[in-house]
Amino acid sequence: MDSDWLRDFLELSEQRNFSRAADARHVSQPAFSRRIRSLEAWVGTPLFSRGAGGVTLTPAGRHLKPQVESLLRDLEKARRETRDVGAQGMATLSIAATHALSFTFFPSWIRWHVRFEALGTLNLLSDSMEACEQVMLAGEVHFLLCHHHPDAPTCFAPDRFESVRVGDDVLVPLCAPAADGRPAWPLPPAAGRPSRLLSYSRASGLGRIVSGHRITREAAADMETGFTSHLAATLMTMAREGHGVAWLPRTLAQDDIDQGRLVRAGSEALDIGIEIRLVRSPDCRNTAADALWHRLTAP
């Protein structure tokens, strides 16, 4: 008995027409009719009544239909669960990370914590915080690597999504230097010339932190927004080229600071200390994810 016969049976019971059912199953009508006859021969009794008004299920067909639906559901479940077990054996690891951390923190961090020779495949999805949250909530990745601050809201209920601190960072107000080496856009701003803010968009996790923090809210009140992006790297480029002030992760901007391409726009009192956290999915698990989590959380 071929499982395709069962799918043909269900399609014909819905369409009640051999021609339409054959089209839906992408086979010729003669081949479809042969498969229905083969199923009836295997069962040992007619399943359909053929008449001028169309095709209807016999009492035997009506009895068989819910059992076929249940059987096909069970087969699909068994296939899916078996595939998941196979994926666990391959030790595939999927991590979503915000753009800034993908470029700076992730490469050295993952090299330190994961033995690549024991890993089947490592998949990194790099996107905005908003996009990363969506794939995490959909159960499509094992972990999310992101910046975190208690003042910034997330979509992850702490009683469902575990997380662990894996690093630290600082958001620093930075701008290009003027000819004399001082900040071109100082904070507080010079008299008669408000400083220009290079702002994060709503899709950015860093943007939530900056907009939700008391220090930056107060500082931004005296600034005009000159540019918006969800990419910290883009804001850093705009700041380097003299277009305004951006609160940038030190891990991302350190080389520009060391080379003098970016300078502090204000004092350290305007800095925002933030954590780098790894959030674990409650829905996407395998042996590789379990091993990494154990390494990070073991006492």
For the ranges 75-89, 104-118, 237-251, the lowest mean pLDDT is seen at: 75-89
The dihedral through the CA atoms of 46, 47, 48, 49 has a sign that is positive
Other C-beta atoms closer than 10 Å to the C-beta of 298 total 6
For the stretch 177-231, pLDDT in tens is 999 999 999 998 877 778 899 999 888 999 889 888 888 878 777 788 889 998 9
* Distant-in-sequence, close-in-space partners of 215: CB < 8 Å, separation ≥ 6: 269, 270, 272
Tell me if 91-166+276-297 shares its fold with 168-275: yes
What DSSP string runs through 193-226? -PEEEEEE-TT-HHHHHHHHSHHHHHHHTTEEEE
Burial class (CB in 10 A: 0-12, 13-18, 19+), 198: buried
Report yes or no: 98 and 132 within 8 Å, Cβ to Cβ: yes
Nearest-angstrom CA–CA distance, 55 and 59: 13
Compute the average pLDDT of residues 7-14. 90
Report yes or no: 173 and 247 within 8 Å, Cβ to Cβ: yes
For the stretch 281-293, pLDDT in tens is 998 888 888 888 9
Map tokens 């277009």 to a residue. Answer: 243
Compute the average pLDDT of residues 262-284. 94
Task: Quote the pTM value.
Answer: 0.66
Per DSSP, what are the bridge partners of residue 163? 279
Nearest-angstrom CA–CA distance, 174 and 266: 8
Domain 91-166+276-297 is found in CATH 3.40.190.10: yes
Q: What is the pLDDT of residue 222?
A: 77
Nearest-angstrom CA–CA distance, 186 and 144: 35
Report yes or no: 248 and 105 within 8 Å, Cβ to Cβ: no
Domain spans of the chain, in order of start: 3-89, 91-166+276-297, 168-275
Map tokens 């059987």 to a residue. Answer: 71
The CATH number corresponding to 3-89 among 3.40.50.720, 3.40.50.80, 2.40.10.10, 1.10.10.10 equals 1.10.10.10
For the stretch 44-95, pLDDT in tens is 999 999 887 789 999 999 999 999 999 988 888 887 777 666 655 556 889 9
**What's the CATH class of domain 168-275?**
alpha beta
For the stretch 217-230, pLDDT in tens is 787 777 888 899 98
